[in-house]
Structure 1
Amino acid sequence: MLLFILTIISIVFILLRVRIVSQSQAYIIERFGSYKYTWTVGIKFLIPFSDKIIQKISLKEQVNDFTPQPVLTRDNIMIEIDSVLYFQIVEPKLYTYEIEKPISALENLTATTLRNIIGELELDNLLSSRESVNKKIKLVLDEAAKPWGIKINRMELKNIILPEDIKEALEKEMKAERKKRELIFLAEGEKKSRILKAEGEKISTILEAEAKMRELVLIAEAEKEALFIKAEGEAEYLVKIEKAKADAIKKLNSAEPSKEVLILRSIESFEKLSHTASKIIIPNEVSQLFSPKEMLKEIKDK
């Protein structure tokens, strides 16, 4: 029975010395008062009476929101900087043994770094280049905290608290800047409107000129077509007259007219000429058919 009780006590004692270390933690172990090793993830056994867990350290990223720090800028303006620091413990042994109260030391280091870096900047530069200031402070802090086993991931100036008079002056300046941009925007809009109007008038004038030109071209083409049709009509008329004359001559020749008919036709022709011409030339063919005296007599009789 006593053996059973001792066995139970031994098992309980052993179980009490077993530790399960999670992935996000590290245990610092000392043996007889001096550093022995660092436990990481897994099941660990603490040797009774000699080993002791000195510190349990979180390996997760931590956030420290520091109290606002008063800082004097290069142009002698006292402001307060509300900053946030994101850091991670990467060397648990250094974090445990290298410095007393590392978080407090990190806060003091941040305040000193802020004063040194921001003290070299004027307020306008600080307000306009906050991102670059964040990166510069982060690099300085990361280098300074490395011996403590701390890695600085990010540094952000969360808020820059200005004196009331400076704040009012900046608000007035921003209002004036907004008014200036508004006036510039209106002026550019009016300028664009005038340009568009001028371009519209120019396009309208071009379209009117093109329409007038097309109108003149159509009129010229219509007149040309009319003259062409008229010329074709006159040409056709002359052709018809010549054809009629040719047909008449052809018919006259085919009818084999008598001497008397030819004389009569000739006399009619000379009769018409006698009213307009002062001199009449009688063709040889006609004079052979009828003597001039007879012809003149015939004309007078008519």
Structure 2
Amino acid sequence: MEIGTYVLVAIVVMVLIFVKMTIVIIPQSETKIIERLGRYYATLKPGINIIIPFIDHAKEIVAMKNGRYVYTNTIDLREQVYDFDRQNVITKDNIQMQINALLYFQIVDPFKAVYEINNLPNAIEKLTQTTLRNIIGEMELDQTLTSRDTINTKLRGVLDDATNKWGIKVNRVELQDITPPQSVLQAMEKQMQAERNKRAAILTSEGNKQSQILQSEGDKAAIINKAEAAKQQAILNAEGEAQARIRKAEAEAIAIGKITEAVGKSTNPANYLLAQKYIQMLNEVASGDKTKTVFLPYESSNLMGSIGGIKELFKGE
């Protein structure tokens, strides 16, 4: 009776083991490649799958985990990232520097990823390194440091085409670090300092130039304003003198008219005015410096005639 119990327990255990080996549960975003008697049989989908134990088995592949190559029979269909070690590259102008790259890819065809390449992570790493060397070798140092997007685009295009037959989709490639030699860094720093000094000198000279231009324009405007002011002053002075002469002439005309009315038509008013001016001049000469001798050439007959005219004027009054 005890032997029968042991046999029954053994049969139950074997059935459970057989059932466990028959049922394969695949998590979401993962898959397995099943081979039957050494040949490809099926690609398992997420969920519950049934296989034949000891006849069907999952194909093992090489994967990268924690920076190491490991064998596993589960294929991860999610996007993965490979952080490659620094590698030395040489630019077109023979400058050696170190570059660290990140590769984002995704397995889209598990069958090709298993059967078209032996060591997928190693193949991707070596292809990335050689492609990156070729791209950097076609560019000079300055272009390399300022064209990361161009390098990423070219590298992704080449890797995507090359890995297509492996069932891989390269989504993007990023350059983490580009490290030139220390001597090149020092030279670049000196060059940048020289460029800054150059820009500062240019800005200073431009400022001085603009200052001189503004100052000359200000001087020009001041000269023009002074000339305009002098011109307006001269015009106003001339107009004032003209108005004064006109008013004086008008006043003299009025005076002559009054004198004519006073002396009458029988007497010439010009004689009166001439005599008046003459007497006024003699008075000014007489009141001048007594030490000087003044000779006054004149015609006594004209003077006496004027005085006579004044006498007649007084008689008329």
Counterpart CA distance in 2 for 1:165 and 1:178 is 20
Aligned residue in 2 for 1:186:
204
Mapping of residues 204-223 of structure 1, within 5 Å: 204-223=222-241
Q: For structure 1, which segment, 104-113 or 153-162, has the greater mean C-alpha deviation from structure 2 after superposition?
A: 153-162
Counterpart CA distance in 1 for 2:120 and 2:45 is 20
Aligned residue in 1 for 2:275:
none
Aligned residue in 2 for 1:46:
49
> How far has the Cα of 1:124 moved from its partner?
3.5
Counterpart CA distance in 2 for 1:231 and 1:94 is 123
Aligned residue in 1 for 2:276:
none
Q: For structure 1, which segment, 114-123 or 26-35, has the greater mean C-alpha deviation from structure 2 after superposition?
A: 26-35
Q: 1:58 to 1:213 in 2, by over 3 A?
A: farther
Among 28, 31, 35, the alignment partner of 1:27 is 31
Give the superposed CA RMSD.
Answer: 4.2
Partner-residue secondary structure (3-state), 1:39:
coil
CA contact (8 A) 1:46 1:52 kept: no
Among 67, 82, 90, the alignment partner of 1:72 is 90
Aligned residue in 1 for 2:292:
none
TM-score normalised by structure 1 residue count: 0.61
Q: 1:269 to 1:197 in 2, by over 3 A?
A: closer
Counterpart CA distance in 1 for 2:236 and 2:44 is 102
Mapping of residues 54-133 of structure 1, within 5 Å: 54-60=73-79, 62-133=80-151
Partner-residue secondary structure (3-state), 2:164:
helix
Identity %: 41
TM-score normalised by structure 2 residue count: 0.58
Counterpart CA distance in 1 for 2:247 and 2:109 is 109
Q: 1:230 to 1:79 in 2, by over 3 A?
A: same
> How far has the Cα of 1:96 moved from its partner?
3.5
Q: 1:79 to 1:31 in 2, by over 3 A?
A: closer
Higher Cα radius of gyration: 1
Counterpart CA distance in 2 for 1:100 and 1:134 is 26
Q: 1:190 to 1:232 in 2, by over 3 A?
A: same
Counterpart CA distance in 2 for 1:90 and 1:204 is 81
Aligned residue in 2 for 1:160:
178
Counterpart CA distance in 2 for 1:96 and 1:222 is 113
> How far has the Cα of 1:113 moved from its partner?
0.9
Give, as a single letter, the amino acid of the residue that structure 1 aligns with 2:48: F
Aligned residue in 2 for 1:171:
189
> How far has the Cα of 1:221 moved from its partner?
4.8
Structure 2: gaps of 5 or more residues:
1-11, 59-72, 272-315
